[in-house]
């Protein structure tokens, strides 16, 4: 008996891999179901639902942008100082003193633009294919909240460099919130952490940007993907029978 075959009989191997080699349909299904990472994806996906020209991969691209933003964002947190006298200088220092500093900062910024664009186009795709209709109506609602969170993430991040652009963007944003009927004054106070833009504002927006909104986004995305599975997978562009006939003709 070879060394590998002997190893496959050990308790150590069996404690990690509980299935036989995936060379039969049954074992292939078991491998997917028993893996923490792989089981997130359905075992079988109808070919008609994953046509690139149907989804354009836009939901996946939105997720990819979010992952790039998380990795580059955590890296930026090693250098960024959320204090009024230091924020701008720490960003300047990052560009000149830190290896790949400017590159990573730009990657974070471009991925942020990319995510807003991808999420928006994904929403347009869902709308034009009618995929918002029942049973996917609740997932559309989760999507609208995800879109709002994406825009808020972008806006709160815009403030953090504490340059003139950022400062006046908050001035405009908080004035807009201040014009809300009935609760305008309270909304403005909540955003600024006081009557004027200052340290309290920076800490609030920093916490929203690096903690609260990303956590909300992760929780909503988990629900969103779960619902895609529960609603019967991605909606179908053409009737099942037509697709099967096409698949048979293609061999
Ligand atoms: C962070 C933002 C988002 C991520 C990561 C995301 C991800 C995904 C993924 C991976 C899918 C599978 C199909 C595909 O890729 O097109 C999907 C489907 C879907 N998404 Fe999103 N999505 C986001 C935002 C939105 C928004 C803003 C809406 C609408 C307001 C939305 C509504 C839907 C619906 C209804 C489906 C089912 C579509 C179908 O079955 O054809 N999503 N989403």
Answer yes or no: is the C-beta of 149 below 6 A from any ligand 1 atom: no
In angstroms, the Cα distances linking 109 to 2, 106, 209, 251 are 53, 5, 13, 46
State how far the Cα of 159 lies from the Cα of 239, in Å rounded to an integer.
48
CATH of 54-231, one of 3.40.605.10, 3.40.50.720, 1.20.810.10, 3.40.50.10900: 1.20.810.10
Q: Residue written as tokens 């990690």? A: 16
| Contacting residues for 216 by C-beta, under 8 A, at least 6 apart | 149
DSSP 166: H
Q: How close is the Cα of 22 to the center of ligand 1, in Å?
A: 31
Dig out the tokens for 108 from the structure: 């974070």
The preferred substitution site among 53, 150, 228 for testing ligand 1, maximizing ligand atoms within 8 Å of CB, is: 228
Answer yes or no: is the C-beta of 56 below 6 A from any ligand 1 atom: no
Dig out the tokens for 112 from the structure: 């942020």
pLDDT in tens, the chain (251 residues): 788 888 888 899 888 888 888 888 898 888 888 888 888 788 778 777 788 889 999 999 999 999 999 999 999 999 999 999 999 999 999 999 999 999 999 999 999 999 999 999 999 999 999 999 999 999 999 999 999 999 999 999 999 999 999 999 999 999 999 999 999 999 999 999 999 999 999 999 999 999 999 999 999 999 999 999 899 889 987 666 666 666 677 65
- Residue 250, classed as helix, strand or coil, is helix
Question: The whole model's pTM is what?
Answer: 0.88
Output phi, psi for 9, to 5 deg. Answer: -90, -5
Domain with CATH 1.20.810.10 in the chain: 54-231
């Amino acid at each position: 008996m070879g060394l590998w075959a002997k190893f496959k009989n050990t308790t150590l191997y069996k404690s990690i891999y509980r299935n036989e080699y995936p060379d039969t349909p049954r074992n292939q299904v078991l491998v997917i179901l028993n893996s923490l990472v792989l089981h997130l994806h359905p075992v079988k996906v109808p070919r008609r639902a994953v046509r690139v020209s149907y989804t354009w991969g836009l939901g996946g691209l939105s997720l990819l942008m979010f992952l790039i933003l998380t990795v580059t964002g955590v890296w930026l947190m090693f250098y960024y100082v959320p204090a009024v006298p230091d924020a701008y200088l720490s960003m300047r220092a990052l560009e000149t003193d830190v290896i790949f500093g400017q590159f990573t900062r730009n990657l974070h910024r471009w991925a942020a633009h990319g995510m807003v664009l991808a999420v928006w186009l994904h929403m347009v795709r869902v709308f034009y294919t009618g995929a918002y209709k029942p049973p996917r109506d609740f997932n559309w609602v989760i999507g609208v909240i995800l879109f709002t969170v994406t825009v808020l993430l972008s806006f709160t991040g815009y403030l953090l460099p504490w340059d003139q652009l950022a400062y006046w963007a908050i001035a405009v944003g908080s004035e807009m919130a201040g014009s809300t009927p009935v609760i305008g004054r309270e909304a403005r106070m909540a955003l600024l952490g006081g009557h004027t833009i200052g340290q309290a504002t920076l800490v609030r927006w920093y916490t929203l940007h690096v903690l609260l909104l990303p956590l909300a986004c992760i929780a909503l995305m988990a629900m969103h993907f779960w619902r895609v599975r529960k609603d019967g997978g991605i909606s179908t562009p053409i009737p099942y029978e037509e697709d099967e006939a096409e698949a048979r003709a293609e061999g």
